[in-house]
Amino acid sequence: MLHFIFYASVNQQFINTWKDTGKNKYDEICGRVIEYAKEIFNDKFTLLATGHSLGGSLATLFSFYASLDDRFLKDGPVEAVTFGNPHVGGFKFANAFKHQEKNKKIRIAYFYSNNDVVAHIPINSFGQYFVRVGVRVPLRSKTLGFCSRRTVLMYPKNESWIKSHANAFKNNFLLHITFPWNIKSVHSLVETQKRLVLVRNKRNDDISELMKKSMEVIYETLVYA
Mean pLDDT of 75-89: 92
Predicted confidence (pLDDT) per residue in 104-118, tens digit? 999 999 999 888 888
- Residue 139's beta-bridge partner residues? 113
> Domains in the chain: how many in total?
1
Q: How far, in Å, CA of 49 to CA of 131, rounded?
A: 20
**Would the CA dihedral through 190, 54, 136, 15 be positive or negative?**
negative
How high is the mean pLDDT of the chain?
Answer: 79
Mean pLDDT of 87-100: 88
Residue 172 has pLDDT above 70, yes or no: no
End-to-end CA distance of the chain: 41
Provide the pLDDT for residue 62: 93
Q: Which range marks the domain in which residue 78 is found?
A: 2-14+22-222
Give the pLDDT band of residue 4 (cuts 50, 70, 90): very low
Provide the pLDDT for residue 26: 83
| Phi, psi torsion values for 45, nearest 5 degrees | -160, 160
Q: pTM here? A: 0.81
Name 99's Cβ contacts closer than 8 Å, sequence gap at least 6: none
Provide the pLDDT for residue 150: 63
Whichever domain contains 53, its CATH number is 3.40.50.1820
Residue 6 has pLDDT above 50, yes or no: no
Provide the pLDDT for residue 147: 43
Give the pLDDT band of residue 87 (cuts 50, 70, 90): confident
Residue among 136, 177, 175 at smallest CA distance from 156: 136
Provide the pLDDT for residue 107: 96
Predicted confidence (pLDDT) per residue in 125-146, tens digit? 544 567 788 999 988 876 544 4
Q: How far, in Å, CA of 120 to CA of 180, rounded?
A: 15
**Would the CA dihedral through 25, 26, 27, 30 be positive or negative?**
positive
Neighbours of 92 (CB within 10 A): 9
Provide the pLDDT for residue 146: 41
3-class SS letters over the chain: CHHHHHHHHHHHHHCCCCCCCCCCHHHHHHHHHHHHHHHHHCCCCCCEEEEECHHHHHHHHHHHHHCCCHHHCCCCCEEEEEECCCCCECHHHHHHHHHHHHCCCEEEEEEEECCCCHHHCCCCCCCCCCECCCEEEEECCCCCHHHCCCCCCECCCCCCHHHHHHHHHHCCHHHCCCCHHHHHHHHCHHHHHHHHHHHHHCCHHHCCHHHHCCHHHHHHHHCCC
